[in-house]
Amino acid sequence: MDPQDAAQSTPRALSGVERLKESSRRLRGDLVADLASPGSQVTEDGYNLLKFHGSYEQYDRDTATARKQIGEEKEYSFMLRVRMPGGILTAAQYLALDGLADQYGNGTLRITTRQGIQFHGIIKGNLKPTVAVINATLLTTQAACGDVVRNVMTTPAPIRDAKHARLVADAKLLSAQLLPASRAYHQIFLDEPDTGETEAEPLYGATYLPRKFKIAIAAPHDNTPDIFANDLGFLAIFENDSLLGYNVAIGGGFGMTHNRRDTFPAVASLIGFVGPDQLLLAAETVIAFQRDHGDRSDRKRARLKYVIADRGLDWVRDQLTSTYRLPLQLVHAMPPIKVPELLGWHDQGDGLLWLGIPLPSGRIEDSKTVPFRTALREIVERFGPDPVMTPQQDVLLTNIRPLDRLTIEALLRAYKIPLSEDLTPMSRWALACPALPTCGLALTEAERVRAPLIARFETLFASHGLAGERLSLRITGCPNGCARTYTGDIGLVGRVPGSYAIYVGGDFAGTRLSFKLHERVKEEALEATLAPVIAAFASDRLPQEGFGDFCNRLGAATLMALT
């Protein structure tokens, strides 16, 4: 037998999380008792099950060492993530979430790169009341994390035409249909009586998926959701306003583990096309395939991208069409994939306007210098715009009457909120993950160094005559790629405390993976390391060529010889 076949046919021990899922009675475990128990933490099983209900236990990494030295326990609290397909909220929902940030959180709301909203700093005893308010506003945290389908993303532009209405409807449909059937969430957090029933999970089964599963839907004219970073991406193909169907891409995912060469980021590959009524069927089929074939022994290699890497895309496509009976047609021709500018004022097409407001790392807070939260709250209270969260961690205030435009703008100016025209394109497009102090996996800073790093890179680019260059700079505190560091022009990936790996060569539209230029560069040496590449870009770029495209054209070896 071929050694690869032998490896594939030898069953390996299931991971502990798999055994927990199986024995948890559909994600209930002992969470009711765990959350009611004294102490600021939950048990290890509670920690793993809580994710399925939208929450992570965390601790304040800034204070942990000092507290340990004086024999104090870490400051534990919980992150809570709201699942909101397409990032869409009503004004009333936004105000309710804003209120919770003070009542139970750390005074901030954090827009995520998947159009969700996170609370940080909720203490254990306050998790239930926070979830109750979120549900009372018709939102949920169910399945916002965990080994299930996460928040479904779509193009956030609130353009009121048939195409955008369809994209939003599709995202909502998939989000609703792909929720777990288990009532565990409602019983643990919302006081629904536990009848002792163990529900059937027709799609997921007793052990749910091997790992998180991400879906995004876009159209070629607007790939803001970065569909190729997802396990499953759909590109809707329209002819005029009529939907022809969807090109289907599978196997995107960015997490990797330093020092494990068998883990790597991947962009999704297009495998075919399905008709306009086959979106849910396609999603359920790919999910069922991953449920059956994903690795349940090694959580670091459990995503769909590794099944594709190990068995080949042709084998996977063949399985999907023959064994799982998905009627895949050939990939449909489509226009070039683009990512449009959504910030600033835009006409929705229905007589109303939207205003896209840039938010640093999606953090809505009253910082020492800029009262973002107060300003947004006042605008939402007075003018009632419905906010849409973008995959760029920004907010679009929608449904604004043209006659309110000047007043809203004056109000933002009075609060000194920087608007898109006040920022360089580099600042408008930069992303950074939360990293320290909340993320337990962070090796370096990200969100907290975003502003100074942008300022330094702006100075560097300007010194080469490139002020105002449109560029996507993405920063993460570890290799998991939460701010999609492996697509885009420049990725800075936390490697060890104080040092980053530098990635370049992705494209602005998010269709191509970047490559590593340097393994470990001290934070203070980042500009000096990239300066020769930027100088070469300034002198040798082709007309209209972006920085990532330039780096991709020259390739890693040529660029490395420069630095």
Are the beta carbons of 453 and 479 closer than 8 angstroms? no
# chain residues binding ligand SF4, by CB under 6 A: 12
Task: Single out the residue of 340, 440, 468, 555 in contact with ligand SRM (rule: CB under 6 A).
Answer: 440
Closer to ligand SF4 by Cβ: residue 471 or 478 = 478
Question: In this chain, which stretch among 31-39, 301-309, 433-441, 549-557 interacts with ligand SF4, using CB under 6 A?
Answer: 433-441
Q: Which of 143, 167, 439, 536 binds ligand SF4 (CB under 6 A)?
A: 439
Answer for which of 236, 435, 504, 513 binds ligand SF4 (CB under 6 A) is 435
Which phi and psi angles does 454 have, rounded to 5°? -60, -45
Q: How far apart are CA 245 and CA 281, in angstroms?
A: 12
Q: Which residue has the tokens 């021990």?
A: 13
Amino acid at position 366, single letter: D
551 belongs to the catalytic site: no
The pair of three-digit structure tokens given for residue 508, joined into one six-digit string: 């602005």
Question: Is 482 in the active site?
Answer: yes
Partner in contact with 400, chosen from ligand SRM, ligand SF4, none, beta carbon below 5 to 8 Å by kind: none
| 370 touches, from ligand SRM, ligand SF4, none (C-beta below 5 to 8 Å by class) | none
Q: Which stretch binds ligand SF4 (CB under 6 A): 76-84, 158-166, 181-189, 432-440?
A: 432-440
Tokens of 97: 């979430």
Identity of the amino acid at 516: K
Binding to ligand SRM, residues 233-292 (CB under 6 A): 253-255
- In the list ligand SF4, ligand SRM, none, the entry touching 164 (Cβ below 5 to 8 angstroms by class) is none
With tokens 């809505």, the residue in question is 364
Q: Say if CB 268 and CB 301 are below 8 A apart.
A: no
Name the residue nearer to ligand SF4 (CB basis): 108 or 348: 108
CB nearer to ligand SF4: pick between 216 and 376: 216
Which of 230, 361, 480, 487 is the binder for ligand SF4 (CB under 6 A)? 480
79 binds, among ligand SRM, ligand SF4, none (CB under 5 to 8 A by kind): ligand SRM
| 61 among known catalytic residues | no
Task: Please tell me whether residue 121 binds ligand SF4 under the rule CB under 6 A.
Answer: no
Rounded Cα gap, residues 455 and 465, in angstroms: 15
Which of 477/488 has CB closer to ligand SF4? 477
457 forms part of the interface with ligand SRM (CB under 6 A) = no
Q: Is 89 in the site for ligand SRM (CB under 6 A)?
A: no
Q: Rounded to whole angstroms, how far apart are CA atoms 71 and 391?
A: 41
Return the structure tokens found at 350: 């229905």
Active site residue 433: yes
Rounded-to-integer distance, Cα 141 and Cα 127, Å: 11
Smaller CB separation from ligand SF4, 15 or 480:
480
Strand, coil or helix: what is 191? coil
480 contributes a contact to ligand SRM by CB under 6 A: yes
Rounded Cα gap, residues 41 and 59, in angstroms? 10
Size of the site for ligand SRM (CB under 6 A): 31
Residue 487 sits in the site that holds ligand SF4 (CB under 6 A): no
Q: What are phi and psi of 64, to 5 degrees?
A: -60, -45
Measured from the CB atom, the residue of 97 and 408 that comes closer to ligand SRM is: 97
- Tell me if residue 212 is catalytic: yes
| Residue 16 within binding range of ligand SRM, rule CB under 6 A | no
**Do the beta carbons of residue 449 and residue 424 sit within 8 Å?**
no
Q: Which of ligand SRM, ligand SF4, none does 477 bind, CB closer than 5 to 8 A by kind?
A: ligand SF4
Q: Is-contact 280 174, C-beta < 8 A?
A: yes
Nearer to ligand SRM, 61 or 470 (CB): 61
214 touches ligand SRM by CB under 6 A: yes
Using CB under 6 A, which residues numbered 57 to 86 contact ligand SRM? 58, 79, 81
Least distance between ligand SF4 and beta carbon 437 (Å): 11
Catalytic residue (one of 296, 439, 484, 495): 439
- Residue 200's alpha-carbon distances to 28, 48, 211, 289, 296, in angstroms, are 14, 21, 20, 18, 21
Integer Cα distance of 504 and 513 in angstroms: 9
Structure tokens at 35: 């959350």
Q: Which of 81, 428, 450, 495 is catalytic?
A: 81
With binding defined as CB under 6 A, does residue 488 bind ligand SRM? no
CA 23, distance to chain mean position in Å, is: 29
Q: What is the 3-state secondary structure (H, E, C) of 453-499?
A: HHHHHHHHHHHCCCCCCCCCEEEECCCCCCCCCCCCCEEEEEEECCE
Q: Is 256 in the site for ligand SF4 (CB under 6 A)?
A: no
48, 83 in Cβ contact below 8 A? no
CB 24 within 8 A of CB 406: no
Pairwise CA distance, residues 275 & 263, whole Å: 34
DSSP 448: G
Q: Which of 124/346 has CB closer to ligand SRM?
A: 124
Task: Please state the closest distance from residue 212 (CB atom) to ligand SRM, in A.
Answer: 6
Would you call 81 a catalytic residue per the annotation?
yes
Q: How far is CA 97 from CA 41, 286, 480, in A?
A: 24, 34, 28
Please choose, from the candidates 159, 222, 161, the residue with its C-alpha nearest in 3D space to the C-alpha of residue 348. Answer: 159
Residues labelled as active-site residues: 81, 150, 212, 214, 433, 439, 478, 482
In the complex, which residues of this chain contact ligand SRM (CB under 6 A)? 56, 58, 79, 81, 112-114, 116, 118, 150-151, 212, 214, 226, 229, 253-255, 303, 362, 433-434, 438-441, 480-484
Binding site for ligand SF4 (CB under 6 A): 433-435, 439, 441-442, 446, 476-478, 480, 482
